[in-house]
Structure 1
Amino acid sequence: MRRRPLAPPSPARLTVRPYAPADESAVLRLVNADRLPGQPPATPAMLADALAGRSRADADWWAELDPPVTAVAETPGGGVQGVVSYALRPPDDTGLILWAHCREQAPVARALVDHAVAALAPRAVDAFHLTSALTLGLECLPVRHRPDTRAALVRAGFADQRRWRYLRRGLPAAELPRVPGLLVGPGPDGDPRKRQLTVRDERGEAVVAEALVGAHGGYGALWWIGVEEHARGRGLARRLLGSALATLTDDLRATQVILLLDDDDTDATAQDIRDRTAAAALYGRAGFTEIDLLHAFTRPRAEGP
């Protein structure tokens, strides 16, 4: 006799309560169940930073927030099914849903979103606008991997907006050319896990191209890469990309790398679109594949009578 799959919990059987230290293991399992390829596993230290509202990425924006509130959804038997963290940004009186995880169980996603919206009402609410300490540079919600969370947000009145394409490839990338004689130094913020690559002109004076990479526990990220307009069209971007991936492999010991490619058409100029198209072609030829699309969400202020 075939065993029937377990049904997801119904909203009526879920209780949302404040996070407690005893929930740590269950919450980490939820976070890691939602982890995208190219992302490091979440650790207790990463969770502690997220609960406290700390993040190396977007640090200035996190500093604007009140201390976050984190809640878990559980069944009557005490099983933690989901988690959501939210906060208030006093300067503009806006609420933020910072992160949420639920193994994409639709009833749990709805319960978490509804709880956060009710707690932040009647303010406008932004969801998944900041990079939390639980990820390596993952800004916004990966909508292909998280369809039920996206549906819960839309159901609650949020509008979504394309922000990024999330790309990944394995390392090393020995097939890519490199820039001879480029300068490799620490990142501009002093983070020991980052390296800045600089290419100067033939006289060694003007900077013509730069890249910034970082890694955490074998997982690498290409934070940005840029070539001055007058130096384009000669293969420098491809060579710099090869050098950046070699730095991740040889110096920072990364075995894979992710990057975010701009996908936001809001106020994009024709030149922006051309640059984005050229970047996508560069990364595609270099072996990157698209893993997901990252969206941010906004819910307007509720206007009462």
Structure 2
Amino acid sequence: MSSLRTGLLVRRYEPRDEAAVLALVNADRIAGQPETTAAMLAEALAGRSPVDSGWWAELGSPVTDVLHDASGSILGVLSCAVRPADDVGFVLWLHGRENSAVVSALIAHALAALGRRTVSAFEFATALSLGLEGLPSNHRPATHKALTAAGFTGRDLWRYMHAGLPLTDLPPAGLHAVPHLVSDCEDPPGKHLEIRDGGAPAAEATIGRPVDGIGVLWWISVAPTARRRGLGRALLGISLGLLHDLGAREVILFVDDDAPANHPERSRAAANRMYDRAGLVEVDRLFSFTHRP
């Protein structure tokens, strides 16, 4: 156990902390996310995630600490790890009910524990959420502000979008409106959809198996030679229809909205217009952060 300048205390997570930590995590839950369960917490503590599993496999064992006051009441939780290949440290997840003093103390503790090395925060998805690859900065402004105050540089990476299902005004409504192939995929867990043109993939999409009635549209891609034919919109309708048939009442989507300078063909402008017109609503912006010694 160690004491911080704030008078708060830090110690390692123990099994008896499960209920208090779950309450902290779920207090930060954002629209379109299922409630974090004990099983999800156990996976995160063990350093596993169904999404971004390859990144997690590169990390050393996570260290999870809780922040508490003199009475023993748990006020915050923090999980960190180091990637041995390049000695980069990671703030994997932290929660403190958006109390500025608590989250600032957690971040200070993380930097002290990880030492003089490059530290990334909110870099990839954890088992605590349904694919949140970054910090929802508008929903968690105190954490964003505390990271910036501690010397982290933020990167605005993703739009986080949400809608209820079905979206009735998005054609085609039926699963068989456009010939397509559906197959299982494991990372992320779900389904892969494909529209082919002359034997070659013309448009592809990946959806996640619904969790508590929430499905994920992971991505849609249309080959450059097949664009401007409505295939993206058709595949969007097919994907959302399949999610609804699988039991999803809501859908979430993560999408970037800038084009790499040297690759204008990768622009997401048209895709973002399609999602906006379909009725998906931007809920937040997802940020990742880097602190250099």
**TM-score using structure 1 length:** 0.89
Question: Which of 205, 220, 240 is the matching residue for 1:225?
Answer: 220
Structure 1 residue 197 corresponds to structure 2 residue 193: yes
Q: Which runs of 5+ in 2 are unaligned?
A: none
Q: Deviations over 1:161-198 (max 9, x none)?
A: 111110111111232112422222212x377x511111
Distance 1:267 1:132 in 2: 30
Distance 1:94 1:247 in 2: 40
- Matched to 1:218, the amino acid is G
Name 1:80's counterpart in structure 2: 74
* Native 8 Å contact 1:172 1:255 kept in 2: yes
Shift of 1:13: 3.6
What pairs with 1:139-178 in structure 2 (closer than 5 Å)?
Answer: 139-178=133-172
What pairs with 1:103-252 in structure 2 (closer than 5 Å)?
Answer: 103-178=97-172, 179-187=177-185, 189=186, 193-201=189-197, 203=198, 205-214=199-208, 215-250=210-245, 252=246
Distance 2:7 2:145 in 1: 20
Distance 2:187 2:62 in 1: 27
Which secondary structure does the structure 2 equivalent of 1:184 belong to? strand
* Native 8 Å contact 2:6 2:105 kept in 1: no
**TM-score using structure 2 length:** 0.93
* Native 8 Å contact 1:162 1:264 kept in 2: no
Name 1:291's counterpart in structure 2: 283
Distance 2:108 2:187 in 1: 40
Shift of 1:266: 6.4
Which secondary structure does the structure 2 equivalent of 1:172 belong to? coil
* Native 8 Å contact 1:89 1:95 kept in 2: yes
Q: Deviations over 1:200-224 (max 9, x none)?
A: 12x5x22211111012221110011
In the superposition, relative to structure 1, how do residues 158 and 53 fare at CA in structure 2: closer, same or farther (>3 Å)? same
Name 1:3's counterpart in structure 2: none
- Matched to 2:195, the amino acid is V
Give the number of equivalent residue pairs: 285
Q: Which runs of 5+ in 1 are unaligned?
A: 1-9
Shift of 1:263: 4.0
Shift of 1:11: 6.3
Shift of 1:271: 3.4
Name 1:4's counterpart in structure 2: none
* Native 8 Å contact 1:161 1:264 kept in 2: no
Distance 2:91 2:102 in 1: 15
Name 2:272's counterpart in structure 1: 280
In the superposition, relative to structure 1, how do residues 190 and 291 fare at CA in structure 2: closer, same or farther (>3 Å)? closer
Structure 1 residue 100 corresponds to structure 2 residue 98: no
In the superposition, relative to structure 1, how do residues 206 and 300 fare at CA in structure 2: closer, same or farther (>3 Å)? same
Question: Which of 34, 40, 59 is the matching residue for 1:40?
Answer: 34
Shift of 1:122: 0.8
Give % identity: 49
In the superposition, relative to structure 1, how do residues 266 and 237 fare at CA in structure 2: closer, same or farther (>3 Å)? closer
Which secondary structure does the structure 2 equivalent of 1:225 belong to? strand
Shift of 1:76: 1.6
